[in-house]
């Protein structure tokens, strides 16, 4: 396995990714009930120093992960023009020589808290998922309201893929953000405007 010098804190980042979707009508063509929903994705493709082996202590990645969170938040605000964000989610895709656990080390609270700060705070825990994959694998990133997990209108997904990543010894960590809930959501439950955001749940 080739070792590459870190170029971003303790990480060697090969590539940053971004994606934007602007949705003006629903799947059956019904026009938006108000503003369109805009979704943003920010991702980083990172060399996995743990690829090909079992390592008990992953704390170096966890301890360094706030730097990733800060940069993801900065890139989000640059991409979105500082748009108000109502929901978010996070995910990892691990190359085939790595473990799912390696990617999860980049999704813990130390990485998430700077992203919460970047979107103006978030009281709810962040939905997350992940998988092992190869270039072109589709990754579905789940959304939840940033202040109250049980706002049904904000349960959503952003599907992303990457043309040349991850290599077998890489991990992609990515976050997705949305400016509102699903268009024409009509399943009842707690409304976004009634979410109090009293603390992490």
For the segment 152-181, what is each residue's pLDDT rounded down to a tens digit?
999 999 999 999 999 999 999 999 999 999
| Domain limits, the chain | 13-194
Provide the pLDDT confidence category of residue 190 given band limits of 50, 70 and 90: low
pLDDT for 86 equals 95
pLDDT for 194 equals 56
DSSP 78-115: HHHTS----EEEEEEEE-TTS-HHHHHTTSSHHHHHHH
Provide the pLDDT confidence category of residue 200 given band limits of 50, 70 and 90: very low
CA dihedral (115, 116, 120, 125) positive or negative: positive
Compute, in degrees rounded to 10, the torsion defined by CA atoms 122, 186, 141, 18. -80
CA distance 42 to 106: 14
Token readout for 11 is 């990480």
CA distance 111 to 66: 4
13-194 folds as 60s Ribosomal Protein L30; Chain: A; (3.30.1330)
Token pair 């959503």 is at which residue?
156
Is the pLDDT reported for residue 201 higher than 50? no
For the segment 55-99, what is each residue's pLDDT rounded down to a tens digit?
999 999 999 999 999 999 999 999 999 899 999 999 999 999 999
pLDDT for 189 equals 65
Mean pLDDT of the chain: 91
Is the pLDDT reported for residue 48 higher than 50? yes
Provide the pLDDT confidence category of residue 192 given band limits of 50, 70 and 90: low
Q: How much is the average pLDDT of 147-156? A: 91
Name the pTM for this structure: 0.91
3-state SS assignment for residue 37: strand
3-state SS assignment for residue 49: coil
């Amino acid at each position: 396995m080739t070792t590459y010098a870190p170029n971003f804190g303790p990480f060697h980042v090969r590539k940053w990714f971004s994606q934007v979707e602007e949705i003006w009508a629903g799947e059956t063509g019904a026009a938006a009930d108000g503003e369109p929903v805009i979704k943003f994705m920010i991702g980083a493709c990172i060399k996995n120093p743990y690829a090909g082996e079992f390592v008990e202590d992953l704390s170096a990645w966890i301890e360094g992960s706030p730097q990733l969170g800060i940069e993801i938040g900065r890139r989000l605000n640059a991409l979105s023009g500082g748009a108000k964000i109502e929901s978010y989610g996070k995910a990892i895709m691990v190359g085939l020589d790595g473990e799912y656990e390696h990617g999860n080390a980049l999704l813990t609270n130390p990485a998430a808290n700077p992203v919460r700060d970047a979107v103006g705070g978030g009281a709810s825990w962040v939905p997350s998922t992940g998988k092992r994959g190869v270039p072109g694998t589709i990754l579905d990133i789940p959304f939840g309201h940033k202040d109250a997990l049980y706002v049904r209108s904000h349960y959503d997904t952003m599907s992303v893929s990457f043309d040349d990543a991850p290599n077998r010894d890489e991990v992609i960590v990515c976050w997705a953000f949305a400016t509102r809930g699903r268009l024409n959501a009509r399943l009842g439950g707690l409304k976004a405007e009634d979410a109090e955001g009293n603390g992490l749940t």
